[in-house]
Chain A
């Protein structure tokens, strides 16, 4: 009963909070604020894809949501590692050579 309205409401609410997160990503004074906002935005995108899958009655959208959740996580960790070490893979080797 009222499934359509339910998922339209869910999609609209998720879009509102996505726009708020995007505002923080644009405003964010430090780079970490932006990474945090983009990570939150990605989580909301996962939920938006899932809600859209229910709205259009295409359950295969949930597979896309799963893949997006994992890519979002890997992306956040990669960006953070890059900002912390200035490099994505050479840190360990440089340490080993210094020893």
Chain B
């Protein structure tokens, strides 16, 4: 049980780091604001989601080791905070992305398009 949780949390955290770094490389290399928003949204959902999932699994390992009721409650509260953190990110990330895209559009940034023939 504990080994399975450990392996899963390693996978989740390494996967989350992968998505986070790939998304940030996209933020660096994409051609304009709107495409960069797309890359940055990736880090907020997949990257942060997998990292927080891995932390939840590690907190679950801590719960397995809990000896007293008090430490069990403390561990459960850590889980609650991690889930709350992800819930906040889940709400705030699309809102700020939307606001940023609107502000950029009304601020006169031309979206990057390919030149069509004819």
A and B bind: yes
Give the B-binding residues of A (Cβ under 8 A).
1-3, 6-7, 9-10, 13-14, 16-17, 20-21, 23-24, 27, 30-33, 35-37, 39-40, 43-44, 46-47, 50-51, 54, 59, 62-63, 65-66, 69-70, 72-73, 76-77, 80-81, 83-84
Judge whether B33 and A33 touch: CB under 8 Å: yes
Chain B residues bordering chain A, tally (CB within 8 A): 51
B66 at the interface (CB under 8 A from A): no
- Return the CB mask of B30-61 against A: 1 if under 8 Å, else 0: 00010011001001100110011011001001
Contact B36 A24 (CB under 8 A): yes
Contacts A10-B17, A13-B21: A83 and B103 contacting too (C-beta < 8 A)?
yes
Shortest CB–CB separation between residue A4 and chain B, in angstroms? 11
A sample of 16 more A-B contacts (CB under 8 A), given A9-B17, A21-B24, is A1-B6, A2-B6, A6-B13, A10-B17, A21-B27, A24-B36, A33-B36, A36-B36, A40-B44, A50-B51, A51-B51, A62-B85, A77-B95, A77-B99, A84-B106, A84-B107
> B40 contacts A36, CB within 8 Å?
yes
